[in-house]
Amino acid sequence: MLFRIDARPNRIAAFALSWFLFAAGIAFYFQASKSRHAENPEDKVVPSLAQLSQGVTDAFLKPDTEDAAPEGLENASLPRRFFTSMLWTDTVASAKRFVWSMLLLIPAVMLGLHMGMFPVFGQFFLRFILFFDKIIALSVLPILFIAFGIDELAKIMLIVIGVTPTIILDTFNLTKSVPPEQVVKGFTLGAQDFGITYRIVLKQILPRVLNSIRLNLKSVMLFLFAGEMIASQDGLAFRIALLRRHMGMNVIIPYVLWVALLLFLVDFTMRLANRKFHPWFREA
């Protein structure tokens, strides 16, 4: 039954299968934690449940420093304490960089579209972008810091350099994959160049472009984290790097899970939007 192509688990079996690895991972973690704490009760590498609970409380309800805590915070409501916590402060800082980087991918999509539709445009940019795509983004990080300083622009440019060429080339290839018969048909029906580009080709490739961006979310966060860890005063990666020096695994683990949850929600939102605005599209 397990290796039959036509095998379909029922609802209960599907639910159990989808959560099995999560449960196994959690069980393995706490078993390892129990073993390490049996040898060393003060072990910080694999925090116990009590240590993790304390770390979650510190991350979600305590500010970055005592100096940053507003007056009367100890008696404040949970929402107010959360919105002044170090986790929220770091999340907002990283989210701003992430959003700016995602917005800068829109011109990349438009460039790839025009490269695929207009041969002169494509000849002008294609070879340069193919070469630029082979540059390792992290290798130019020192250049970015020298050119732009250690402020926000350098971190955003790192993400753009790391992800934009891939999105441009993917959009270019998707554009070229549209059957030429549809372009000819558009001209036959009286459409103009830009009408065919935006109303026929762009509408067809847009759901696949969104999928390409969605699949590059991890790369976006990778470059964002690289910039924050090297030169930043706030952000999720900055906090993880700071806590690493103090072996603060009970806070690092909640931070890592929080980042994974945020990326999962962004991915889910993009899939939901794709399904909503392009109901005709079926993912491969």
In a domain, 221, yes or no: yes
In a domain, 118, yes or no: yes
In a domain, 48, yes or no: no
Q: What letter represents residue 64's amino acid?
A: D
Domain that holds residue 204: 91-235
State the burial class of residue 160 (Cβ atoms within 10 Å of its Cβ: 0-12, 13-18, 19+): buried
Task: Choose among 76, 62, 97, 51: nearest CA to 233.
Answer: 97
Q: Give dist(CA 145, CA 138) in Å, integer.
A: 11
Identify whether the C-beta of residue 152 lies closer than 8 Å to the C-beta of residue 97: yes
DSSP 9: -
What's the confidence (pLDDT) of residue 175? 95
What CATH number did the domain enclosing 138 receive? 1.10.3720.10
Coil/strand/helix, residue 149: coil
Q: Give dist(CA 284, CA 190) in Å, integer.
A: 33
What's the confidence (pLDDT) of residue 255? 93
Positions in the chain short of pLDDT 50: none
Q: Give dist(CA 203, CA 210) in Å, integer.
A: 11
Task: Choose among 277, 253, 223, 278: nearest CA to 51.
Answer: 253
Average pLDDT of the chain, as a whole number: 88
Task: Choose among 198, 124, 229, 111: nearest CA to 160.
Answer: 111
What's the confidence (pLDDT) of residue 70? 60
What's the confidence (pLDDT) of residue 65? 66
Which single residue is written with the structure tokens 């009970």?
A: 250
Domains contained in the chain, number = 1
Tokens linked to 204: 């067809």
Task: Choose among 33, 86, 10, 21: nearest CA to 252.
Answer: 86
In a domain, 149, yes or no: yes
Tokens linked to 178: 């549209």
Identify whether the C-beta of residue 252 lies closer than 8 Å to the C-beta of residue 240: yes
Task: Choose among 66, 58, 59: nearest CA to 88.
Answer: 59
In a domain, 95, yes or no: yes
In a domain, 226, yes or no: yes
DSSP 69: P
State the burial class of residue 59 (Cβ atoms within 10 Å of its Cβ: 0-12, 13-18, 19+): buried
Task: Report the Cα 263 to chain-centroid distance in Å.
Answer: 5
What's the confidence (pLDDT) of residue 248? 82
To the question of pTM greater than 0.95 for the whole model, the response is no
In a domain, 181, yes or no: yes
Provide the CB-side half-sphere exposure for 204 (13 A, CA): 17
In a domain, 143, yes or no: yes
Q: Which residues contact 225 (CB under 8 A, 6 or more apart)?
A: 236, 237, 240
pLDDT digits (tens, 9 = 90+) for 56-99: 988 888 887 655 556 656 666 777 888 888 899 999 999 999 99
